[in-house]
Structure 1
Amino acid sequence: MWQRFTLYDLRVVGHYLGVLVSFSSLALLVPFLTALVFQEWTPAGHYLLTIGVSLIAGTALRFLHIDPGRLNRQQAIVVTGLSWIVLAVLASLPLYLSGHFATYTDALFDGVSGITTTGASIIQDLDHLSYADNMWRFMLHLIGGLGLIVVALSFGLFGRGAGASLYVSEGRSEHVVPNVVQTAQFIAKIAVGVIILATAALTLLCIFIGMEPARAFLQGLWLSITAFLTGGFAPMSQSILYYHSVPIEFLLMILMLGGSINFVLFAEVWKGRLDAFFRDIEIRTMILWLSIMTLVFTASLIGSAEFSSLPVLLRRGLFTIIASFSTTGLLNITTNQLTTVFTSGSFLVVALLMAVGGSAGSTTGGIKFSRVGIILKSLVSTVKEALAPDSARVVVSYFHVGHRILSPELVKEAMTVFVLYIVTYLVGALVGIAHGYEATQAIFESVAMASNGGLSSSIASAGMPLTLEAFYIFQMWAGRLEFVTLIALIVEVVVSLNPRRWGRRS
C-alpha cells in the first residue's frame, strides 16, 4: 500500500538525486573540453559555470543523508521522476547562455527534448551553433537514450541494493544478466561499441563529400549518437537533407533500426541464438506492423507528384518510415514537404508509426511493440475462450527470450500503458486545437511529443504560446517515463501534502 513520505524519505531521495546531479558534471566536461580544443572561450565559460552549479547543488543534496542504505521502490520512483526534471533544468543553462534561444523556456524545451530523446528543437540559427554547444546537445541524447539510471549504474554509482530499485523505476524490467549493474554495463558497452564503429564509417563518408577531417569526425559522431540512440537532433538545420548522400542515409537507417531493437535481443544474437531473435513477439509484431504501414504509406504517397518516381519513393519514403517508427525524427525531406507534399493518409501513417514506436528495452519511445503484441495475444485468447467448451482451460503463450504464459497481470499492464498513451495523445491534440491550430497538425504534434518521436508539423517553434510549450515539455517527460513512474510520483506528492502527518522513520 502506498505510504506517506516521511522526512527520512525526503533526505534519502535528496541524497541519491545529489549523486546524479554531481555525476552530470562529468558529462559537462565533454562540451567544455570541446570548447577548449576549438578555442571557443565563451562557451567554455558557460560550461565551467554549469559544472560549478552542478557540483554545488549535487554536494548540497548529498549531505541531506550520509548513509542512505537500500532504496525501496517508493523512494526509487521519486528519485527517477525528479532526476529527469532537475537534470533537464541544469542541462538547459548552457543552451540558454549560447544566445540561440529567445527565452530560458525555449532552452528548457530543447533540454527536455534532448534528454528524453524526443529530438524536436526550437533552436535559432542552428547552423552557426558552436561545436561545444552542439556537442552538449548530443551528449544529452547519449545520457537520455541509455537512461540516466543505466548510465549511472554502469559506473557503479549506486551499488546493487539501490540499483535494482532504480533500474525498474526507469521503465526497465528485463536483465541481460542476473546482476543489474552488469546489465547496465552491457547496454552501455553495446551502445558505445556501435557508436564508435558508426562514427568511423560516417566520418569517412563526410570526408568523401568534402568536409575537413575535424568537422567530419564531429558530424560522424553526432549522427551516430542521434541515430542509434533514436534521439532526433541533427547538427544542421536541414537535418539529413543537408548531406545529400545516399550512403549516409543508408547507414543511418541501419543505425535507427538497430536502436529500435530490445537490448536483451542483442544479447541473444551475441550468444548465437538467431532463432530466438526471429521468434520473439516484439520482432514478429514489428515485421507485421511495419509491413502493413509501409503498404498503406506507399499507396497513399504514390499519388503525389513529388514521390511518383520509384527511386525517390524508396529513398525518401523508406527513410521517413524508419525514422518515424524508431521515434528518431530525422528527415531527408524538408519540414514543408512533410506538411504540404505528403498526403493526409501518409501524414497519418507517420503519426501512427510514432505513436506505437519500437521495442521495449530499446531507446525508442511510444507504446512499444511488446505491449501491442501482448494485446493482440490477449484478443486471440479471448476468441479461443469464446469458442472453447466450458470445461476447457485456455492457455496462450508467447516467445520472448523463452516461452512465456500470457497472464492477466501482463495484459492489464499493457492495456493500462496503452490507454494512458492514447489519452495523452488526445489531450495534447485538444490543447493544440484550443490554441488555434488545425486539428490534423495538432494531433500529429501531440503524438510526436508524447511518443518522443520528434517529427514536427511546425507547431513546436520559437514563439509558440507559453502554455502550449509547457504542455509539450510535460508530454515529453511523461512519455519518456512511460507514465507509471510519473503517476506514482504525482500520487506521492498529493498524499504527502499534509505536513502534520509526516513522521520520522522508525
Structure 2
Amino acid sequence: MWQRFTLYDLRVIGHYLGTLTLFFAVLMIAPLGTALIFQEWEPAARYLVAIGIAMVGGCSLRFLRIEPGRLSRRQALAVTGFAWVVLALFASIPLYFSGHYATYLDAVFDGVSGLTTTGASVIVDLDHLSYADNMFRFAIHALGGLGLIVVALSFGLFGRGGGASLFSSEGRSEHVVPNVVQTAQFIARITLLIVAVATLIITALCLGLGMEPVRAFLNALWVSISGFMTGGFAPMQLSIMYYHSFPLECILMVLMILGSISFVLYAEVWKGRAGAFFKDLETKTMVLWIAVMAFVFTATLSSWALFDDMLTLLRRGLFMIISVFTTTGFQVVTTNQITTVFSNGAFLTLAFVMAVGGSSGSTSGGIKFSRMGIIFKSIVANVKEALAPDSARVVVSYSHLGRRTLTPNIVKEAMTVFILYVITYVVGALVGIAHGGEAIPAIFESVAMTSNGGITTSLAQPGMPATLELFYILQMWAGRLEFVTLLALIVEVGASLVPRVKPRLNP
C-alpha cells in the first residue's frame, strides 16, 4: 500500500525546502553584488527585493519544523522533487521584471531551464541583458548542474539528518568517497578547479579577440560554467558563434566532454587508477556511440551548401555533435540555419545523440551511456543464451568501478528508465504536433527538453502557447530527476489526495 503524507511529513518537507530557499537567497547575492559593482541600479533593486521575498519564504518554511531528526526516503524524494519547482519560481521573480520576457510563464520556463541545465531560453534581446541578470542565469546553471542537494550538502546545510537520503534521491547512487558530505565537497572542488582553469584560458582568448578585460573575464567565466555544467546558456544571442574563434571552440569542446564524465571516474583517476576510466563500460559505450554518430552526421553535412570546405565541415559538425551528446546546447550555427538548412537526416541524427546524453553521475542529461551499455550487454547475453547448450550457464560481466556481473535487476532498472524516456520523447513530440509544429522539429524539441539538451528549433519561443510551455517545463523537470524520483513523488502525492474510505462496522 502507498503511504500518505502526514502533517508531520509536510512539516519536515517544508523545513528542508525552507533551508534550500534560504540558500538560494544567499546565491542571489552574486547578481546583486554584480549590479552594485557595475552601477546597474534597477537590477540591484530587483535582486534586493527577490532576496527579501526568498528569505521571508524560506524562514516561514523553516519554522514548520524545529526539532532535529533523520529524513526518511519518501520525505527526501518529496524535498528533491519539489525543490526544482520552488526555486524556479523564486528565480523567475527577478528575471520577469527585467523586461526581457514576453510573459511571466516565459520567466518560469527560463528558471526551470537554468536549474535543470537544459539551456533552452525564451529571453528577448539577450544581447542587451544586464551583467547582473547574466550572472544570475549562470549562477543557477552552476547550482543546478552540480545538483541542488550536492551543493547544499557541500556546505553542510542539512547536518547529519538526511544527507544520504537526499543524495540518492537526486539520482546519485554512487559515492565518490564513503561519506556523503565529503563526496559532495569533492564534486564541488573538481568543478571549481576545472572552471577556474578554463576561465583563465578563455579570458586570454577573449582579450586576444579585442574584448575589454572585464567583459573578457565575465564572458569567459560564464561560458566556462555553462560548458562544464553542460548547461547551454550563453551571454550572447548567437551563442558560441558570436566569438568566431576556433581555439575557443576547442577549449569548450574539451570542457563539455569533461562535464559529461562521471564524477566517480574522476575520483578513480584522482586515486591513481586511470586504467579504470578506460576500462569502464560508460567510456567504451561513449567512444563507440560517438564515433558511429559522428560519421553519420558528417555524411549528412557533406551535401550542405552551408559548408564550403572540409575544414569548416569538420569544425562545425564536430562541435555540434559534442554539444548535443553532452546535452550542453551550445551552437556554432544559427537557429535559422538549423531550421532551414538542416536535412531531416541531420535533425534525427542530432536527436538520437541528444536522447542518449552523457555519463551517469555527471552534469549531462539524457538516458546515459551506462544504461545503453547495460542494455547492449543484455542483448549480448540473450544471444549467448540462445546459442549455448541447455546445460550451460551464461554469465556476462562488465567493468564499472570494478568487475560487475549483469543481473536481471540491473537490466530491468536500465530498461525501465530507457522506456520512460522514450515514452516521454514520443508524447512530447505529439504535443508539439498538436500545437501546429512539423513532425521532425516537434520530435527534436521534445528530445531537447526531456534530455535537458537545450538546442531548440521553432516551437520553444517567446510567448508560445501556455499548454505547450507547461508541458516542456514538465519534461525538463522529469528529465532532470530521471523519472524515478518524479514518479515516486506523483504516486505519494496522489495517494495523499485520495479520500480515505472509512471501514464499515458490522451491525
Say which SS state the counterpart of residue 34 (structure 2) adopts: helix
Assess if the C-alpha contact under 8 Å between 2:68 and 2:161 holds in 1. no
CA distance in 1, matches of 2:156, 2:499: 35
What amino acid is aligned across from residue 233 of structure 1 in structure 2?
F
Deviation at 1:68, TM superposition (A): 4.0
Q: Which residue of structure 2 lines up, in the alignment, with residue 335 of structure 1?
A: 335
Unaligned runs of 5+ in 2: 503-507
Which residue in the other structure is 1:4 paired with? Answer: 4
**Aligned pairs (5 A) from 1:83-102:** 83-102=83-102
Alignment of 1:391-402 (within 5 A): 391-402=391-402
Contact 2:36–2:44 (CA under 8 A) maintained in structure 1:
yes
The residue aligned with 1:258 is: 258
Retained in 2: the 8 A contact 1:160–1:181? Answer: no
Q: Equivalent residue for 2:385? A: 385
Partner of 1:207: 207
Q: Structure 2: which amino acid aligns with 1:31? A: P
How big is each residue's C-alpha offset from its partner over 1:137-170, in whole Å with a ceiling of 9 and x where there is no partner? 0001000000000000000111233010000000
Match of 1:226 in 2: 226
Contact 2:230 2:256 in 1 (8 A): yes
The letter of the residue matching 1:157 is L
- Partners of 2:500 and 2:352 lie apart in 1 by 48
| Structure 1: 5+ residue stretches without partners | none
Structure 1 residue 4: Cα displacement? 1.5
The aligned residue for residue 417 of structure 1 is 417
Extract structure 1 runs of 4+ deviating beyond 3 A. 498-502
1:447 to 2:441 alignment: no
TM-score normalised by structure 2 residue count? 0.97
Does the 8 Å CA contact 1:160/1:180 hold for their aligned counterparts?
no
Give the deviation of 1:365 after TM superposition: 0.5
- The answer to whether residue 476 in structure 2 is matched with residue 476 in structure 1 is yes
What one-letter code is carried by the residue in structure 1 that aligns with 2:474?
F
Contact in 2 for aligned 1:28/1:136 (Cα 8 Å): yes
Aligned-pair distance for 1:475?
0.5
Partner letter of residue 123 of structure 1? I
The correspondence of residues 430-469 of structure 1 with structure 2, limited to 5 A, is 430-469=430-469
8 Å contact kept, 2:81–2:481: yes
Return the alpha-carbon distance in structure 1 between the equivalents of residues 132 and 338 of structure 2: 30
- Aligned to 1:305, what secondary structure does the other structure show? coil
Give 1:308 shift.
Answer: 5.0
Aligned partners of 2:298 and 2:314 also within 8 Å: no
8 Å contact 1:159–1:181 — kept in the other structure? no
Matches within 5 A, 1:64-463: 64-307=64-307, 309-463=309-463
CA distance in 1, matches of 2:21, 2:59: 8
Give the 3-state SS of the residue equivalent to 1:17 in structure 2.
Answer: helix
Partner amino acid, structure 2, of 1:371? R
SS in 1 for 2:315: helix
- Find the residue that maps to 2:306 and give its secondary structure: helix
Q: 1:389-433 CA deviation, whole Å, 9 max, x = no partner?
A: 222221111101100111111111100000000000000000000
Equivalent AA in structure 2 for residue 275 of structure 1: G
Deviation for aligned residue 1:499: 6.0
Distance in 2, Cα, partners of 1:285 & 1:206? 35
**Alignment partners' CA distance in 2, 1:500 and 1:6:** 13
Deviates more, 1:67-76 or 1:216-225: 67-76
Task: Check the 8 A contact 1:302/1:308 in 2, yes or no.
Answer: no
Contact 1:325 1:357 in 2 (8 A): yes
Tell me which amino acid in the other structure corresponds to 1:18: G
CA contact 1:15–1:68 (8 Å) conserved in 2: no
Q: What do you get for the CA RMSD once the two structures are aligned? A: 1.2
Which residue pairs with 1:496 in the alignment? 496
| Contact residue 77 and residue 488 of structure 1 kept, 8 A | yes
1:48-63 matches, cutoff 5 A: 48-63=48-63
Measure the CA separation in 1 of the matches of 2:242 and 2:303.
26
Q: Distance in 1 between matches of 2:267 and 2:339?
A: 39
Secondary structure, in 3 states, of the residue corresponding to 1:307?
Answer: coil
The one-character-per-residue Cα deviations of 1:479-505 (angstroms, maximum 9, x if unpaired) are: 101000110111011100146589xxx
**Does the 8 A contact of 2:113 with 2:476 survive in 1?**
yes
> Contact (CA 8 Å) 1:339, 1:347: kept in 2 or not?
no
What pairs with 1:31-42 in structure 2 (closer than 5 Å)?
31-42=31-42
Identity between Structure 1 and Structure 2 (%): 68
Q: Quote the offset at 1:307 in angstroms.
A: 2.5
Which has the larger displacement, 381-390 or 238-247?
A: 381-390
Letter in 2 for 1:194: I
Structure 2: how far apart are the matches of 1:395 and 1:160?
Answer: 40
Given that 2:141 and 2:225 are in contact with CA atoms closer than 8 Å, whether structure 1 keeps it comes out as yes
User: Which deviates further from its counterpart, 112-121 or 344-353?
Assistant: 344-353
Q: Distance in 1 between matches of 2:400 and 2:192?
A: 25
1:360 and 1:369 in contact (8 A); partners too:
yes
Distance 1:35 1:141 in 2: 19
Question: What amino acid sits opposite 2:396 in the alignment?
Answer: V
How far apart, in 1, do the equivalents of 2:26 and 2:403 lie? 42
Instruction: Encode CA deviations 1:271-311: one digit per residue, 9 max, x unaligned.
Output: 22221111100000000100110111111111112235211
* C-alpha distance in structure 2 between counterparts of 1:293 and 1:160, whole Å: 45
1:20 is matched with 20
Please give the alpha-carbon distance, in whole angstroms, between the structure 2 residues aligned to 1:272 and 1:341.
47
Partner Cα distance (1:482, 1:159) in 2: 26
Counterpart residue type for residue 467 of structure 2: T
Count of aligned positions: 502
Q: Aligned AA for 2:114?
A: G
Equivalent residues of 1:12, 1:68 under 8 A apart: no
How far apart are 1:192 and its partner, in Å?
Answer: 0.9
Q: What is the TM-score with the length of structure 1 in the denominator?
A: 0.98
Deviation of the 1:364 alpha carbon: 0.4
Distance in 2, Cα, partners of 1:51 & 1:113: 20
